[in-house]
Homo-oligomer: A and B are copies of this chain.
Amino acid sequence: MYTIQQFARLADVTVKALRHYERLELLVPARTTSHHRRYAVTDLSRLERVLTLRTFGLPLATIRAVLDGDLHPVPARLATLMDLRARLDRAIDALQVIVGGADPGEALDTFVQESAWLRWERLRQTRASTVGRAPDRVGASRLALFRAIDAALTGDPHGQDTRQLVRQWHETMAPETREAVRRRAGWPAGMRAYIASLYDTTPEAWERVVTFVESQAEPATAPGG
């Protein structure tokens, strides 16, 4: 039989953790007449199962259920842990580049760009594939306008109809949105792909249309002629 401190040292856990496990009824030691905890070797076996299950990232309440015979939560962790490992691998790769390189700040920036792009891609795919959920899209009228301009670019970019479409584009767009689009060079990596997906098109097609529309913008101060 061990006192709580002896037992904690033996198993390399903290006294606080042992008390915590008792509160959750995960590991309940014997008590002396003076109410001091006394741990036995059998408690050590149980603790080792707890510590092992903890390496799977299981919550303590779930660990209790597993020790009570419900093994289901254990294999269910596999997918989560593999996902976690994939993220961890990427983080480690990035840190190694950062540690090994001459300019940590620049390397960090590169990784921020890269991982932001991945996040956007994942988000886009998740949203596109979520069952029962329509993909994010701009409004129908704006989408129609975008498609009309896109079509005009391969037809008659300088015709009267196209001018009309471009005017409509600018008139129906909030000034702040327009300002944001103007500054698209500063957008985080991947945002462009997301925005393009809002228009149900590729980043290249979106860029082509926006570049054209901006080039046709009337100066804000002078009236158009």
Contact = CB atoms under 8 A, between A and B. Distances in A.
Interface in A40-91: 41-42, 44-45, 48-49, 51-52, 55-57, 71, 74-75, 77-78, 81-82, 84-85, 87-91
A85 B89 contact: yes
Interface of A is mostly: helix
Contacts of A186: 41-42, 45
A89 B55 CA distance: 10
Given A41-B186, A112-B48, A186-B41, A92 B98 contact: no
B56 A77 contact: no
Contacts of A74: 95, 98, 104, 108
Interface residues of A, number: 53
Contact of A55 (B10, B91, B183): B91
A111 B71 contact: no
A41 B55 CA distance: 40
Interface in A94-137: 94-96, 98-99, 104-105, 108, 111-112, 115-116, 119, 123, 136
A114 to B, nearest CB: 9
A136 B87 CA distance: 39
Nearest to A48: B116
Interface of A: 1, 9-10, 12, 41-42, 44-45, 48-49, 51-52, 55-57, 71, 74-75, 77-78, 81-82, 84-85, 87-92, 94-96, 98-99, 104-105, 108, 111-112, 115-116, 119, 123, 136, 176, 180, 183, 186-188, 191, 194
